[in-house]
Amino acid sequence: MFLLKPNKWGEFPGWECGERAFHAEETVKSWQVFLGRLFLSFSLFLFIDATSNEQQELFCQKLQQCCILFDFMDSVSDLKSKEIKRATLNELVEYVSTNRGVIVESAYSDIVKMISANIFRTLPPSDNPDFDPEEDEPTLEASWPHIQLVYEFFLRFLESPDFQPSIAKRYIDQKFVQQLLELFDSEDPRERDFLKTVLHRIYGKFLGLRAFIRKQINNIFLRFIYETEHFNGVAELLEILGSIINGFALPLKAEHKQFLMKVLIPMHTAKGLALFHAQLAYCVVQFLEKDTTLTEPVIRGLLKFWPKTCSQKEVMFLGEIEEILDVIEPTQFKKIEEPLFKQISKCVSSSHFQVAERALYFWNNEYILSLIEENIDKILPIMFGSLYKISKEHWNPTIVALVYNVLKTLMEMNGKLFDDLTSSYKAERQREKKKELEREELWKKLEELKLKKALEKQNSAYNMHSILSNTSDE
């Protein structure tokens, strides 16, 4: 025996699918909650127990049944109903995954309503106002036993051979996508992982939503950079963007280039860069592989935002620079070699050994070595002074050993230039030492002159005192 058809109980005034709360009079709300619990106190037939003609109606009933929400913050309430809903969601996932022809046009509305009712909600504020994603454990979604199954059902729905975007676009529209993007701020990494896959599927299937999705992600990132400085799902959105950028047609549109320079590059200034830097660097490199002419402005942008006081960020920047150099064209390399290697020279000279070590690892990269060798006449003069000084003065023996290897490699590339720079460097050091000695001598003379004047002043004062004393005695 089936329970009420979905269109009967779903018509109570004030009930709106797609929202977590019921916006109605308190009495109506109580009545609906009562009906929901009564509804769930009975199990619907299993699909295997229904005839083929009854299964479609049963499918819609189960979707309506799963629109009822429960308070998972109360761990002891509605346990039976919660379990019935969990079992029903499992059955829906299995039914859509293993059967063809079940996603008919009339079912789309109920499917999207059920999904919306369960996943769209106002995310609670963090329990810890000083929450640090790198240090603290995230707050997990209490209703995950149900929400996880809803996400799994959503994915099976989108991936079904029966899925028709032309019908689904009536329900999965800009408002739906906007609500979906807001959920990326969830602290629960399990939810963000599902959202990443769902949004990627939607982007692939709904051509009319692509520009809107890119625009909204752009807006989220701009708010993150310039206003909130906090958004939990940055890494996941960047991962989606990596795939989107990979599919861009050539030549790149102006809006895509602007997104790179005005959004992705400034994102390197974020405090929590470590949480999403790998995905961010991948997006940047994808752009450069699409259009090599972007290499110069990108590297100059990174140099502009180069961290001054955070060694961890410097190491990340150096890693990204190496990824860029791995795909750079020799003609583009010539345009940025001077400012780039001036920065690398500073990093090599860093007192923080991890920064110096990461910069010196560039010389372990065969392609970068070939670029350096082709442009040794310009790069060696920039690097030589720092390398030679470090070889004599750096506190860390590992860094000194790496520097000796780099100097040896550079000497093999152009021995004559290396010898000339060595002679020039030693001569310059001699001049500096001579100037230092001259300064010390000058200071010594000034100290002696100061002391001499002080003694003269003291003697003068003593003589004046003696004269005054003699005059007084007379």
How does DSSP assign 193-236, residue by residue?
HHHHHHHHHHHHH-GGGHHHHHHHHHHHHHHIIIII---TTHHH
Give the pTM: 0.81
Q: How far apart are CA 400 and CA 20, in angstroms?
A: 62
Tokens linked to 236: 């996941």
Question: Vertex 378, ends 372 and 381: CA angle to 5°?
Answer: 105
Confidence at residue 30, expressed as pLDDT on a 0 to 100 scale: 57
Confidence at residue 285, expressed as pLDDT on a 0 to 100 scale: 97
307-346 burial code (b ≥16 CB/10 A, e <16)? beeebebbbbbbebbbbbbeebeeebbebbbeebbebbbe
Confidence at residue 305, expressed as pLDDT on a 0 to 100 scale: 96
The length of the chain, given as a count of residues: 474
**Cα Rg, the chain, nearest whole Å:** 35
Confidence at residue 448, expressed as pLDDT on a 0 to 100 scale: 81
Residue among 30, 22, 230, 231 nearest 121 (CA): 22
Helix (H) and strand (E) counts for the chain? 21, 0
Distances (CA, A) of 332 to 260, 288, 362, 372, 391: 18, 11, 18, 13, 31
Q: How far apart are CA 6 and CA 266, in angstroms?
A: 50
Contact predicate 434/426, CB 8 Å: no
CATH architecture of 1-122+143-172: Alpha Horseshoe (1.25)
pLDDT per position as a tens digit, 431-448: 777 787 878 888 888 888
Q: Write out the H or E segment, with its range, that includes residue 69.
A: none
Q: How far apart are CA 288 and CA 304, in angstroms?
A: 18
**Segments of the chain with pLDDT less than 50:** 1-25, 28-29, 32, 35
Confidence at residue 97, expressed as pLDDT on a 0 to 100 scale: 92
Domain positions in the chain are: 1-122+143-172, 414-474
Q: How far apart are CA 267 and CA 161, in angstroms?
A: 39
Confidence at residue 471, expressed as pLDDT on a 0 to 100 scale: 63
Confidence at residue 291, expressed as pLDDT on a 0 to 100 scale: 95
Residue among 165, 245, 176 nearest 207 (CA): 165
Contact predicate 87/81, CB 8 Å: no
Confidence at residue 46, expressed as pLDDT on a 0 to 100 scale: 64
